[in-house]
Amino acid sequence: MSYLFTSESVSEGHPDKVADQISDALLDEFLRFDPNSKVACETLVTTGLTVCSGEVLTDGYVDLHKVVRKTIKEIGYTKNEYRFEGESCGIISTLHEQSADINRGVVRSDPENQGAGDQGMMFGYATRDMRNLMPMPIELAHILLQELSAIRKEGKEMTYLRPDAKSQVTIEYDDNNHPVRIDTIVISTQHDDFADKSLPEKEGDEKMRLAIENDIRNILLPRVIATLPDNIQKLFDGNFKLHVNPTGKFVIGGPHGDTGLTGRKIIVDTYGGKGAHGGGAFSGKDPSKVDRSAAYAARHIAKNLVAAGVADEVLVQLAYAIGIAEPVGVYVNTYGTSKIADASGNPVTDGVIAEKISKLFDLRPYSIINRFGLRNPIYTPTASYGHFGRDPRFEEVEVYYNNGETYDRTEDGIVKHFKKVKLFAWEETDYVEKIRAAFGI
């Protein structure tokens, strides 16, 4: 019997995502000064106020107010009527030095034996739903809001849009776990109040809501569908249910409408509820925290296993003890979709797959960090629309140190240092051939 599965996403203007982006922008700024910075930065945003707290150990100095204000303005909170905007909001910082007790477990005289920054378990997941091997519900939920944000920033259509928004997508799957149709789409978007004041309030609000729904149906959805491959476009059969601003009005939003906190959208950040989650958030944490770096490594393993043809769906769990370099456990679940057999033709168990993976991938924090270039300022782009399923790409970033990996350029008479870094490197399928060789595929 078919079943329904739902995932949600939130825009960069959602208060929790505002907090995530500030935390990661601060982390990036510390890494521009000192790539070995140890950072655990938490942010709270509410009406007219941003509070930054946490622990930092670094050789650099960051102008926190400048970074916070720049981030808020880039998101789109630039008007006083939002009751939270980059130029005027209050900023409080209680950042302090990292605990020496934690530091002694992480830092080693031999950097290759760097210990995990905390205990815990991290999960990675991949499935054949989409070309990027992400689950379809969360991927479509992200795409809807990314396109809505693009419309807002273009400023040509739907000019009433404000930064805060949420989406939700429900997919119908068949008995073989293949997506067969879109069942329901929910879009809630913050907007200016353009209700006709000559009408009774409820009537004016409903007329305004219907205008937004019409634009979602006739502007946003066609733009989104046009970006999708043919097999996904066919799932929009015209019979799906569409709910737009179901409460009727969404003028009050962002941090004024709801307090935002770093790390409160961990399912949005990952797989939309598919697979599993270890409970650790990502934003504001330097890569010595395996909550973040090992979750990236687990996704990399899962994606490469599916891309290599080992299985159609894979969940990978990594587990660590604080201060210990090697993981205490590696677990693989292929949900019965494994396609490989041993020399005798017997199915290869998930336990054997996990054992081979442990030998193929160096899962010490030091190696994970180096493999993905995680000491670089690459994190702000991860803080909205998910950490996974994104296209890996090279980007030039400015840093405030000079070594063999940097190059100089003079701008306005000032010599600046730049570095070429890779964003979303954990999305590469660079281990496919190694995996195929290991399993004889």
Binding site listing: 14, 16, 42, 55, 98, 164-166, 249-250, 258, 264-265, 281, 285, 289
Characterise 212 by phi-psi region: left (phi > 0), alpha (psi -120 to 50), beta (else). Answer: alpha
C-beta atoms surrounding 80 within 10 Å? 10
Binding residues for Mg(2+): 16
Tokens 């939920």 locate to: 141
Helix 64-75 with 15-33: angle, nearest 10 deg: 140
Binding residues for ATP: 14, 164-166, 249-250, 258, 264-265, 281, 285
Binding residues for K(+): 42
Eight-class DSSP state of 385: S
Binding residues for L-methionine: 55, 98, 258, 289
How far apart, in whole angstroms, are the C-alpha atoms of residue 425 and residue 119?
A: 24
How far apart, in whole angstroms, are the C-alpha atoms of residue 142 and residue 358?
A: 32
Using DSSP, state whether 437 is helix, strand or coil.
Answer: helix
How far apart, in whole angstroms, are the C-alpha atoms of residue 415 and residue 425?
A: 29
C-beta atoms surrounding 35 within 10 Å? 23
CB 90 within 8 A of CB 50: yes
Task: Please classify residue 272 by burial: count the beta carbons closer than 10 Å to its beta carbon, then call 0-12 exposed, 13-18 middle and 19+ buried.
Answer: buried
CB 322 within 8 A of CB 118: yes
User: Which residues 6+ apart lie within 8 Å of 204 measured at CB?
Assistant: 195, 196, 197, 198
How far apart, in whole angstroms, are the C-alpha atoms of residue 379 and residue 421?
A: 11
